[in-house]
Copies of this chain bind each other. A is one copy, B any other.
Amino acid sequence: MEKVRVGFIGYGCRGKEMMKTLLNMCENATVAAVCDAYPDRADEAYNAVLEKTGKAPFKTTNADEIINMKDLDAVLIFAAWESHVPIAVAAMESGKYVGVEVGGAYSVDDCRRLVETYEKTGVPCMMLENCCYGVKELSVLKMVREGLFGTVVHCSGGYHHDLREEIAGGNINRHYRLRNYLSRNCENYPTHELGPIAKVLNINRGNRMVSLVSVASRSCGMEEYIKKHAEKYPDLQGLPFKQGDIVNTVITCADGATILLTLDTTLPRSYSRAFTVRGTAAAYQGLNDSLFIDGVHSEAFSNPEDLYWGNGKEYREKYTHPLWEKYGEKAKAAGHDGMDYMVLSAFFEAVLKKTQTPIDVYDAAAWMCITPLSEESIKKGGAPVAIPDFTGGKWKTPKKSPDLEFTLDW
């Protein structure tokens, strides 16, 4: 079996998860090199590969050494947010496919650099947006494609994840979120919901995002949390956090559909991505995993839960996406709701077949630019900000091939 030779950069929390899935599940990839800026983490990555495969990978703390290697097919980037674009650009320039972990950009220019580098080199760059492959997201996408929703008018979702402990622990666990939450105020993590929504709304494939407004609440969650746990975080007492607790961003698309994204990471709550799709014929609400079909379900004034609340599962059985039909069992066995296995498989298949990746550099640029543009809008009191067209007009062409496809028939 031909194998993708991978350089693996970044072995923090997310890197470890993805390494595990890669080593355990992806027979078509081999980790030839590992890198982390922290020597102890580079050692850990090295040991993980050696233990699992019996083969010692090349090891370094300098990402450039990975980029400069000659016998690598692809680079996977799980390092800090700030390093995503520089490493991705360097890797494309060195001819290596790029798979980059999710995150927002720091400037629109960074997004342009990604696109320009791809157009110059022809080397694909895929954002590894695992949530595009979620079982709920893909089955709703299938329903949308089959017309169940009628015209899609509005979508919403967000990253609703109480990260206070992770952020406050940044000086101990060396997590880049701490410095970002201290110094920035923006929709810093837009893609977990924007990715699946962009697929539903055909962004860059017949539609595009044209403008946004973004408003941040005040920032109280982190400071109160740190004060409450004073013994645990003595060095953070009284430090002001710039990141607002809740950031709402409303995006308008070329076809008039709107997208509401909510960043919600520093207040107590349960995890949710609240993936929601609203059409003229149906509604899906991720918060309670419920599908409302016009003419099938009926509106109830006080007791909607009796009628269809939580019926998403039932419909997923009817509208199983082909990818989940074929690979669902294996994906679930890989953990993290099966999404990581799916997204890695899609990436490795593109590398092996030397094809375009199902999430391409234009997707990455469009999704990542929401972060700096939201920062600008927030600074201007919520003023509307134009979203650039990174495709040079190519967004107007509807895509014909299936969504997010991969076949695994290597």
- A residues near B (Cβ < 8 Å) are 150-151, 153-154, 161-162, 211, 213, 215-218, 220-221, 224-225, 244-246, 248, 250, 252, 255-258, 260, 262, 264, 267-272, 278-283, 285, 287-288, 292-294, 297, 299-302, 304-305, 307-310, 337, 380-384
Known contacts A213-B215, A258-B215, A288-B287; A153 and B381 CB within 8 A of each other:
no
Cβ–Cβ contact A256 & B153, under 8 A: no
Q: Who on chain B is nearest to A212 by CB?
A: B382
Which B residues lie within 8 Å of A292 (CB)? Answer: 268-270
In the bound assembly, the distance between CA atoms of A220 and B258 in angstroms comes to 12
Contact of A217 among B258, B308, B384 (CB under 8 A): B258
Known contacts A246-B154, A285-B287; A271 and B256 CB within 8 A of each other:
no
Expressed in whole angstroms, the minimum distance between the Cβ of A332 and any Cβ of chain B is 11
In the bound assembly, the distance between CA atoms of A305 and B285 in angstroms comes to 14
Cβ–Cβ contact B337 & A217, under 8 A: no
Which B residues lie within 8 Å of A225 (CB)? Answer: 280
Which B residues lie within 8 Å of A151 (CB)? Answer: 220, 224
Contact of A153 among B150, B246, B308, B310 (CB under 8 A): B246
Cβ–Cβ contact B258 & A246, under 8 A: yes
Q: Could you name 13 residue pairs across A and B whose Cβ atoms are closer than 8 Å? A: A153-B246, A153-B267, A154-B245, A154-B246, A213-B250, A215-B250, A248-B258, A268-B280, A270-B300, A288-B288, A288-B305, A288-B309, A382-B384
Known contacts A154-B246, A245-B154; A258 and B307 CB within 8 A of each other:
no
Which B residues lie within 8 Å of A267 (CB)? Answer: 153-154, 278-280, 283
Cβ–Cβ contact A252 & B215, under 8 A: yes
Which B residues lie within 8 Å of A288 (CB)? Answer: 287-288, 305, 309
Cβ–Cβ contact A153 & B220, under 8 A: yes
Cβ–Cβ contact B382 & A381, under 8 A: no
Which B residues lie within 8 Å of A380 (CB)? Answer: 384
Which B residues lie within 8 Å of A381 (CB)? Answer: 211, 252, 384
Expressed in whole angstroms, the minimum distance between the Cβ of A295 and any Cβ of chain B is 8
Which B residues lie within 8 Å of A161 (CB)? Answer: 299
Which B residues lie within 8 Å of A282 (CB)? Answer: 268
Known contacts A258-B246, A260-B248, A300-B271; A153 and B287 CB within 8 A of each other:
no
Which B residues lie within 8 Å of A285 (CB)? Answer: 287
Contact of A257 among B217, B293, B309, B383 (CB under 8 A): B217
Q: Who on chain B is nearest to A386 by CB?
A: B381
Cβ–Cβ contact A220 & B382, under 8 A: no
Which B residues lie within 8 Å of A221 (CB)? Answer: 153, 280
Which B residues lie within 8 Å of A300 (CB)? Answer: 270-271
Expressed in whole angstroms, the minimum distance between the Cβ of A157 and any Cβ of chain B is 13
Cβ–Cβ contact A301 & B271, under 8 A: yes
Q: Who on chain B is nearest to A210 by CB?
A: B381
